[in-house]
Structure 1
Amino acid sequence: MKNLLYISFFLFVGSVQAQNALYNTGNIRIHANGSLGFHANFINEVDFDQDEGLVGFYGTTPLAVQGSIPPTFNDAEFMASGGVFLQNSINVLNNVNFVDGDVLSPLNDQTTYLNFLSNGFFSGENDTSKVFGFAAITNKSLFSFPVGDNEQLRPLILDSQNETSLAVCAYFFENPSNPTSFSESYNVEEKVRDIGTVTNREFWIIQSDEIATVTISWNERSALGLIPNTSADAIIVVGWSKQSNQWIVIGNSALSGDISQGFVTSQPFVPSDYEAITFGTIPLPTDTFVVNNPTLGNYFLSPNGDGTNDFLVIEGMSESPNNSLHIFNRFGQKVFEKINYVDEFIGISNTGSLLLSQNIGLPEGVYYYLATLDDLQLEYQGFLFLDR
């Protein structure tokens, strides 16, 4: 049996038996190599933040974490198929091991969550073992939130420019116009004209005060293929603006997949400026140019001086002399940008961290472009392959 220290009968055993809970009004501390397993509810009313061992939640019946002071665990393990319901937040210093059963928190309360502190991480997440509710991070810049609903894991990756003091995230397989989990609503018909359709099937809430990008994915359950006349390259990240109370375009920095499944990475934005984010689409064609050019195409570039494909010529850009072109690598880093583009790209970066490699050019591979035709009020995206 592992050594459990400072766990004694000052834990109010009478209340434990009456409420089927461990009621902590004393001072629990678990030393290194120690462990504490919960097969009943846990009610914490004092500081519980000096342990170094493992705290586990086990069994087949639902368990609850309650109290007025969030406990801080070093390592935590969840093997409770009935779920662990958070009515009090949990902080984790090190590892969370998802084995069986969800960690659930109120979907209408962003202040109760499973919180991963600066060195916290997790393993084992899957469709049946994840956070169904709010997860949080403290003093981190890059994190994949292991969130989802009662059926699926639907993670969101947050990549902040600086460490965020606190970020919270949850996933909702609900209609944004009429959520069932809380009283606020985000009408998918209230949107700027640059958006064609906002999905009515799912959304994420992500709150952080630091500039960041997010990566979200869609699958068959997302049913984006049901949106009329859409395609994978028409999918964009949109957010419900707190300032304008409507869906606006956040935009993409990377996109991959088909209409059945894929992922998209947003442009940098401040998550706390938005109540929710989800998938939107580029508007349906409304003029002759768009009908004849549903996409500006994908391109091959081989800048080797042989006179063939030495520079990037995007057909259709000439229809809008007032335009802009942005090119990104597969990591979402911007490598080229030009206002009023006229066939200048020859595989050399003119912006971002890769600018220092101008003398050798960009490496061979697949790149993603975003072309904006200001005269026609249109935006296109596509891919190009750079051959060395």
Structure 2
Amino acid sequence: MDNNSVKLSCRNLWKVYSTQSAPFGRDDAVFSGAREEVRGRLRQGGHIPAVMDANFSVHTGEIFVIMGLSGSGKSTLVRCLSRLIEPSAGEVLLDGEDLLAANPKRLIELRRKSMGMVFQHFGLLPHLTVLDNVAFPLRVQGQPLKERHQRAREMVELVGLAGREKAFPHELSGGQQQRVGIARSLAVGPGLWFLDEPFSALDPLIRRQMQDEFLRLQKKLHKTIVFITHDIQEAFRLADRIAVMRQGEIIQLGKPTDILRNPADEYVAKFVEDISLVRQVRAADLMSAARDDVSNAATVTPDATVEDLLAHLARGAKAFQVADRDHVQGSIDAKSVLAVLDRDRERRH
């Protein structure tokens, strides 16, 4: 993830449903003022705000997860980002370009070349083989048959389906069909990848396998990803950062460990209460400045979890040096590790 490079930016984004055909424009005065005031005015007018004043940026190479219960507005938000649903107000910037100002021709071009989309329902074409399903977006672009099939074969192999190129969708398992959907979305080489509950239709074991596959692909491809889920375990397993939504609002945004350690309110605290701190908090979250006087120290990577550190303590380590590729980044004392364990016990009782 490149923290210095913003791929997608969402500013003051609203989506309001109304019985009126065109109740207001993007710059309408109804959207000026504090969020609660705007919401009150909209509801007094009989309008239903589904996304309210969303603000965030997604960095290049980041997995940005939008999480919430059913009806929280997360799917509406991601469809506004791609303009599958027209936002009521605000800005969506992709590489600095205002998507809401794009004309239909430009928007089609961006969707074909710059965005990949994967949804809960696979949407495969039943009369096409795996290879032709994956190659379909390239066919729409007008690429020659040989070129698009070569690219499709590369994507099929990438998602672990080499040898199934001639199979039809009905001959595949649910997990395999979702892999085809992922390969198809990657065929155009998108810079931005939208995934809306892509694994929720799968049974738990296949879902876990697809999460593993997803993380493997991300390590190789370094895509910029907006991932929608209602599953708290999935969110914390995949995310670099998480936006928690409730009733159309983003109520907390941050790294998974920050949300776990400092939930914004009781709703978020209840949402994350079953997530283990010792399995989520990592050495990078605890380390302080590197020291030369650390004795009986175990060397760990920044990604080592507190659970890993506790195992070292049980084997006699007294402290830790955090190093990445032989470069020492910081130090951790045993007291900091045990404090996380105590905090985890407290929040579970």
TM-score normalised by length of structure 2: 0.29
Q: Structure 1 or 2: larger strand share? A: 1
Q: Structure 1 or 2: larger helix share? A: 2
- Mark the structure with the bigger radius of gyration: 1
TM-score normalised by length of structure 1: 0.27
Structure with the greater relative contact order (CA < 8 A, sep ≥ 6): 1 or 2? 2
